[in-house]
Amino acid sequence: MSPAIIGTILVAALVTATISGVFGMAGGLILMGVLTTYLPVASAMVLHGFIQIISNASRAFLLRRHIAWKITARYAIGIGGALMLIALIQWRPTQPLVFIMLGMTAFLVWIPKSWVTIDASRPIQAELCGFLVQTLNTIAGVAGPLLDLFFVKTLLPRQTVVATKAATQVMAHAVKIAFWGFPLIDMLSRVGASAETGFPPLWVLAAVIPLSLFGTWAGGKVLDRMTDANFRAWTKYIVTATGAVYLIQGAMLLSAA
């Protein structure tokens, strides 16, 4: 792996952790696109999951007094249902399809609120959220916009939204690492296959930890200065712009295939 690619990954880890620290999403969506651009899909998924666990865990810890633990526990029940479905899935998307799924996922933020009657704080819906978000997160790599649909109608303040989503996503990315990690480990076990996987050196994994922690801390400082209205508006526009780029990139890759 070239120094330029390693540098890009490290900068992306810092910048996207900061963005996620502010909005509770969007950072993971951007990071997934960066990693998929430079790495094979399996390696990108595992590395993304590792970075996102560090980022989300630190964010959940810093905002731990704001976490809605009842919603988090009910979300975990939904993950259990998703695990049964995921265990049956053998298909894994190619790089162009990952970009297209990322782009389509991003545009979920534009579903009119009048069409959406879901609310993670209501009965059964946190469980449904866990099931749907875990399934999409495992296959496409991210599911932030879908997760956000379950919080858009809650009366929770922005700190609670960010903290609770962070707690749920620690679990979600752990499942994703397991789903994509086993095929990757099998590839790494073959003689001479390490170059084929494109997985970065272990020191890169160590380096992203302090970068993610610092980005999360910096994003939290910005979050404290935002209003709830600005928080929701900026989230929508950042996610939409990112999604548009991914759709174009995915379409270009498909046309070139």
Higher pLDDT, 233 or 38: 38
| 130-159 tens-digit pLDDT | 999 999 888 888 787 788 778 877 788 888
pLDDT band at 88 (very low <50, low <70, confident <90, very high): confident
List pLDDT tens digits, range 2-25: 889 999 999 999 998 898 888 766
Mean pLDDT of 197-208: 84
Examine the pLDDT at 194 and tell me if it is beyond 60: no
The two three-digit tokens of residue 103, written as one number: 């782009």
Domain boundaries of the chain, sorted by first residue? 3-256
- SS3 per-residue string spanning 129-177: HHHHHHHHHHHHCCCHHHHHHCCCCCCCCHHHHHHHHHHHHHHHHHHHH
Radius of gyration of the chain (CA): 17
pLDDT value of position 82: 92
